[in-house]
Structure 1
Amino acid sequence: MFGSRLTNTMRQFSTSALRRGHAYSGPGENLPFDTHSPVKLTLYFGIFMATGLGIPFIAVRHQLVKSKG
């Protein structure tokens, strides 16, 4: 009894999740940034990658400066 109710709930959730996908709005419309401007997208991607890659180097520099003082 409980198993069939759980299966039914899971089936309803999966179909509603599919309905909320990009089928009605188009691909990229559900993203939190604009994908229509390639220059803006490249700039945002570059800033995102530079901060993620740069944080370890900044942390090491901070520790080295801190240990000298």
Structure 2
Amino acid sequence: MLGSASKLLVRQSLGNFVRHGSHGGIIGENLPFSLKNRYRFTALFVVFFGSGLAAPFLVLRHQLLKK
């Protein structure tokens, strides 16, 4: 009897979590940045990934130019 009561409690708790913890299916609502302005998003995307891609080359250039 205790097993079924605990299962019911877990099921109700998970149901409440899913019901109140989600963002309602709105695309991009759970992201840490906004998708509303496409030009700002594109600029931030290029800067973020461009800096990560350029970092090894800049470090290599610095090491080769160092005396």
TM-score (norm 1): 0.63
- Largest Rg, 1 or 2: 2
Q: Supply the RMSD in Å over aligned alpha carbons.
A: 2.7
Structure 1 residue 49: deviation in Å? Answer: 1.2
Tell me, yes or no, if the aligned pair for 1:22 and 1:28 is still in contact at 8 Å. Answer: no
Kindly tell me the number of residue pairs found equivalent between the two proteins.
Answer: 60
Cα distance in structure 1, aligned partners of 2:47 and 2:38: 14
TM-score (norm 2): 0.65
2:23 maps to which residue?
Answer: 22
Give the percent of matched residue pairs that are identical in Structure 1 and Structure 2: 33
1:62 maps to which residue?
Answer: 62
For structure 1, the residue ranges without an aligned partner over 5 or more in a row are: none
